[in-house]
Amino acid sequence: MGGLGKTTLAKMVYNDSRVQKHFELKLWYCVSENFEANVVVRSVIELATNGRCDLPDNIELLKGRLQEVIGRKRFLLILDDVWNEDHRKWEEDLRSLLCSSIGASGSMIVVTSRLQQVASIMGTLPPYDLQILSEDASWNLFSMKAFSNQGAPEQTELLSIGKRIVSKCKGLPLALSTMGGLMSSKQKVQEWKDIAECNISDTSRGKDDVVAILKLSYKHLSSEMKQCFAFCAMFPKDYEMEKDKERVMDLTDKGEYIFNELAWRSFLQDVSVKGCKMHDLMHDLATEVTDECASAQDLIQKKVSLMDVHHVQLSSYEFEEIGGLLKDTSSLRTLLTQSDHKDLSELKNMRSLRALRCERSSIIHSQLINTKHLRYLEIVNSPIVKLPDSLCMKKLSHIYLLGTRRLKRMPPNLRLLHNLRTLTKFVVDTRDGCGVEELKDMRQLGNHLQLCNLSKVKTGSEANLHEKVNLSNLDLSWTPDFGDGNNEVSDNEEHVLESLKPHDKLRMFRLSGYNGITIPQWMRDQGRFQCIRELEFYHCKKCKELPIIWLSSSLEKLSLNFVASLTTLCKNVEVEAAGYNISPQIFPQLRIMELVGLPDLERWAENSEAEPISQVMFPQLQKLAINDCPKLANLPRSPVLTHLDFSRWSASNPAVIPLGSLPSLVHLGVGALVELLIPAEDQQSQRPLENLRSLNVSSDDFFSTIFNSSKLQPVLRDRLAFLEVLGIYSCNNIVSWPVEELQCLPRLINLDIFMCDKLEGMGSSLEEILPLPRLKSLRIESCGCLLEIPRLPASLEKMVIWGCKSLVVLPDAMDGLTSLEYLSIRWCPRIEEFPHGLVNRLPALKYLQILGCPELQRRCREGGEYFDSVSSIRKKDIPFPATARFSSSSITKFVKKLLPSC
């Protein structure tokens, strides 16, 4: 896909409603010039998990993680703006990772590029070559922006001039959009004529044309806009800039205006609630027009003078390289750094800083932030316990405290920060100047606010949260930090919570550690949550009711964790008033629901007479996780539900899962005694479970049932044949390999067996090949009694054996695994050798890891009998035996924490 409009077209495809329905997972990654396999794979993992990937730069480890997060989901991956013309980087490193080892049938990768060579290297289908826009399409794109602020009479007068400007853009979308944005700010005819008469470029169509037009548009920015735009050169290409943080750090209303103007004029793109990105040509322009921003490489190679640089962003590695160079500079205004150093004391003389971001530093030196100029401070993933008292400088505007779980003390007298507009965390204390009343007059606070340690508040709060109308997210915690259920119990918690009434436009609200029995009056007002998107309750052990949010037209996520006294999710639901005689639709926009540790919850809904409503519907619910809710015996109707994890510990009667009402189900996780039911009428009217591809089982009873043909309805038994992923967790009634059960899964690709403590694997079945002809990945973890593994199919590509302390030998027939690429053996100390000549008979093996197997490790190290055989394997992780410090029991405990809720 060529041409400068490629990203626009790809975005249209990406956001198309038909695409939304077809793919379970959609990922967009702007590649640009960095096509290294580890960078691309890590980025895809982070997109799929919406979180950070901290694995080392080991492609096999990254590959394993990629397979875990994508699994057999049908995905769409957009690799945007690829420049790589080295076919080896694609064929040898990335093609097999992205095209064959992950995703369900129907997954798709779309590549956009300006280079025909890229299309010939990566394409499996003929490329779609984007031509320049037609004359009509060019005019439509330009005029849509150019005349957005013009009156009708003026439009007519400017039409002919606009046509001349459009012709100079030569059908290039970015040029047309940028020029249209520029002209929307011009009201006078002469201004239009001046720009139309500019000699933009005489070059042929392409990058030079666009850059010339971008320069012209930049020239007409105001000085403040130029400064803001140039500041973006500090960030790498394709960096996702967070709007609330990086809009020149200390601008508020004016910054909002400038941000919107830059976005409208196409200097910023992909604008969302969270942030934005910058087109790489715009990034080139920003780099060209400023000398104040520099990359670490520019500084290392001395391409720029450090005394001229005002803004720097450094990764942890880059900080190690050049951190020492910064200590003597007085010119630096912005420093954004990741550092594994315990402290940043070497930077304490940087007295001119306006913005400072520190990640993972355990000591924030008081002199470093004792500057009259500092406006912005961000401390991320730091184990700091207290902040220096010097923090309370009157000009400080933004304080971000993210991932600071150990923070116990705020500096006193924060009320002196009259300009403070962002404070993400405030830990209440009883010391003078550290109470919640410090926030009383901070009406301009916005974005996110977390109030911690509210158990220290002894009377009604004077925080005046209702006046802080710029807050979008509010987190109230009675513990020192979110998620800890062990807090001091006070007698006035209900009174304190009543006094913490926020404004009525919140988007996210979280309540944690609250021990009151009732909710405050302001939570009973349905209008209070008219804009709410996320609602979370954690460790509210005595609370018996929820806010009235089940009729909310905005709520998309609900998480209830350890609300031990809650009996009914929705109360006073008027069925007739709502107009639904059979199945009232509650939570009309809810997409994700998590219910964990609710021992008394037994009803989804009841009417005003406290009578249960037998059947309710969640029309938009996509993901539902229920864990440790033993009294909840049935599920709501959810026509678009794709993921269901259901676990009921200590339940005496089986729960009923009406699979007929879950036609879109892709993943099912069951850790309880359940009855899968498809009524006869549903079997006739629709195709139940036609999309089911993944099953997790962590219940002895359910495992016996699901694979027993005599206990299942025929339609359910038939659907098992389409499973691609199976996880078996903590099923202690399995002693020998379940060969007979696995025979009904001919399409299975991934098989995980975790913590099946009685699995020995003995029996005649070991002589047979495991009846899974398409199996690609096998993981066996923490099965302490396992003695033998059966013969495995030749299709296997990945094999992981961890924490099997009784296992002595690997299967003799492993030499038939001609497709095996990844082999990891960890904490299996009794395995001392490979089957004779095994490593030499695994032609596809690219990664070998051996940990916690002392004798086998010794034989693979230099001087050992296997060293010559394993030395040819491209990537290995075989340390000296002394580094294997973990026992199988410790790994079992660790793995239990990582298991899904079922």
Task: Render pLDDT for 297-355 as a digit per residue (tens, 0 to 9).
Answer: 777 777 777 777 888 877 766 776 676 677 666 678 888 887 655 556 666 667 778 88
CA–CA gap between residue 76 and residue 104 (Å, rounded): 11
Query: Between 857 and 199, where is the model more confident?
Result: 857
Tell me the three-class secondary structure of 294-361, residue by residue: ECHHHHHCCCCCHHHCCEEEECHHHHHHHHHHHCCCCCCCEEEEECCCCECHHHCCCCCCCEEEEECC
For the segment 475-510, what is each residue's pLDDT rounded down to a tens digit? 999 988 755 556 666 678 999 999 999 999 999 999
Beta bridge partners of 537: 511, 560
* Average pLDDT of span 125-154: 77
Out of 297-301, 735-739, 756-760, which region has the weakest mean confidence (pLDDT)? 297-301
b (16+ CB within 10 A) / e for 59-93: bbbbbbbbbbbbbbbbbbbbbbbbebeeeebbeeb
129 CB-contact burial (10 Å; exposed 0-12 / middle 13-18 / buried 19+): exposed
For the segment 613-670, what is each residue's pLDDT rounded down to a tens digit? 878 889 999 999 999 888 887 888 888 888 999 876 655 666 677 776 677 888 888 8
CA–CA gap between residue 319 and residue 337 (Å, rounded): 7
Query: Between 194 and 101, where is the model more confident?
Result: 194
Phi and psi based region of residue 539 (left: phi greater than 0; alpha: psi -120 to 50; beta: remaining): left
| pLDDT at 366 > cutoff 50 | yes
For the segment 78-92, what is each residue's pLDDT rounded down to a tens digit? 988 888 888 878 877
Residue-averaged pLDDT of the chain: 80
56, part of any domain: yes
CA proximity to 26, closest of 102, 100, 77, 79:
77
Query: Between 898 and 314, where is the model more confident?
Result: 314
| pLDDT at 834 > cutoff 60 | yes
CA atoms within 13 A on the CB side of 243: 20
Q: Could you tell me how far CA 501 lies from the centroid of its own chain?
A: 31
- Give the total number of structural domains in the chain: 1
Share of the chain above pLDDT 70, in %: 80
What residues contact 205, with CB distance under 8 A and at least 6 apart?
132, 170, 171, 172
CA proximity to 899, closest of 698, 705, 694:
698
* Average pLDDT of span 416-428: 91
CA–CA gap between residue 483 and residue 710 (Å, rounded): 45
* Average pLDDT of span 150-158: 62
Confidence of residue 15 (pLDDT cuts 50, 70, 90): low
491, part of any domain: no
* Amino acid, res. 198: C
Out of 121-125, 347-351, 527-531, 757-761, which region has the weakest mean confidence (pLDDT)? 347-351
| pLDDT at 744 > cutoff 50 | yes
| pLDDT at 26 > cutoff 60 | yes
* Average pLDDT of span 19-27: 79
What residues contact 718, with CB distance under 8 A and at least 6 apart?
none
Confidence of residue 60 (pLDDT cuts 50, 70, 90): confident
CA proximity to 381, closest of 51, 49, 50:
51
Q: What is the pLDDT of residue 617?
A: 87
Q: What is the pLDDT of residue 239?
A: 73
Confidence of residue 207 (pLDDT cuts 50, 70, 90): low
Place of tokens 């730069």: 57
CA–CA gap between residue 311 and residue 231 (Å, rounded): 8
What residues contact 522, with CB distance under 8 A and at least 6 apart?
498, 501, 502, 528
Q: What is the pLDDT of residue 200?
A: 62
Confidence of residue 235 (pLDDT cuts 50, 70, 90): confident
CA proximity to 889, closest of 734, 758, 783:
783
89, part of any domain: yes
CA–CA gap between residue 573 and residue 550 (Å, rounded): 9
3 state SS of 591:
coil
Q: How many CB atoms lie within 10 A of CB 35?
A: 19
| pLDDT at 24 > cutoff 70 | yes
Can you read off the two tokens belonging to residue 737?
């390999």
CA proximity to 738, closest of 699, 783, 770, 784:
770
Confidence of residue 900 (pLDDT cuts 50, 70, 90): very low
What residues contact 569, with CB distance under 8 A and at least 6 apart?
546, 550, 601, 603, 604, 605
Q: What is the pLDDT of residue 438?
A: 92
Asked if 81 and 112 count as a contact pair (C-beta separation under 8 A), the reply is: yes
86, part of any domain: yes
CA proximity to 368, closest of 402, 407, 323, 413:
323
577, part of any domain: no
Q: What is the pLDDT of residue 605?
A: 92
Q: What is the pLDDT of residue 623?
A: 92
* Average pLDDT of span 836-853: 86
Give Cα separations from 170 to 70, 176, 209 (angstroms).
41, 8, 8
Q: What is the pLDDT of residue 14?
A: 67
Q: What is the pLDDT of residue 569?
A: 93
Q: What is the pLDDT of residue 887?
A: 41
Confidence of residue 4 (pLDDT cuts 50, 70, 90): very low
73, part of any domain: yes
Can you read off the two tokens belonging to residue 669?
């996780």
Query: Between 539 and 700, where is the model more confident?
Result: 539
| pLDDT at 523 > cutoff 60 | yes
Query: Between 157 and 21, where is the model more confident?
Result: 157
CA proximity to 532, closest of 546, 519, 518:
546
| pLDDT at 31 > cutoff 60 | yes
Give Cα separations from 522 to 494, 502, 531, 587 (angstroms).
12, 9, 15, 20
Query: Between 574 and 190, where is the model more confident?
Result: 190
13, part of any domain: yes
Q: What is the pLDDT of residue 114?
A: 74
Beta bridge partners of 778: 751, 799
| pLDDT at 7 > cutoff 60 | yes
| pLDDT at 596 > cutoff 90 | yes
Domain range holding 39?
6-122
Global pTM value: 0.72
For the segment 658-716, what is each residue's pLDDT rounded down to a tens digit? 776 677 888 888 886 666 655 555 555 556 667 788 888 887 777 776 766 555 556 66
CA–CA gap between residue 341 and residue 361 (Å, rounded): 6
CA–CA gap between residue 866 and residue 872 (Å, rounded): 11
Q: How many CB atoms lie within 10 A of CB 401?
A: 20
Query: Between 59 and 887, where is the model more confident?
Result: 59
Place of tokens 């018996």: 544
Contacts within 8 Å (CB) and 24+ apart, 148-155: 148/184, 149/184, 149/185, 149/187, 150/184, 150/187, 154/187
Confidence of residue 883 (pLDDT cuts 50, 70, 90): very low
CA–CA gap between residue 426 and residue 446 (Å, rounded): 13
* Average pLDDT of span 169-194: 86
Can you read off the two tokens belonging to residue 646?
């259901």
Q: What is the pLDDT of residue 202?
A: 44
Q: What is the pLDDT of residue 648?
A: 66
327, part of any domain: no
For the segment 552-583, what is each residue's pLDDT rounded down to a tens digit? 889 999 999 999 999 999 988 876 544 444 56
DSSP result, 131-143 = PPPPHHHHHHHHH
Out of 119-133, 452-466, 602-616, which region has the weakest mean confidence (pLDDT)? 119-133
653 CB-contact burial (10 Å; exposed 0-12 / middle 13-18 / buried 19+): exposed
Q: What is the pLDDT of residue 726?
A: 92
DSSP result, 54-109 = ---S-HHHHHHHHHHHHTT--EEEEEEEE----HHIIIIIIHHHHHTSSS-TT-EE
Query: Between 60 and 603, where is the model more confident?
Result: 603
Out of 110-114, 180-184, 394-398, 482-486, which region has the weakest mean confidence (pLDDT)? 482-486
Q: What is the pLDDT of residue 881?
A: 72
| pLDDT at 273 > cutoff 80 | no
Share of the chain above pLDDT 90, in %: 24
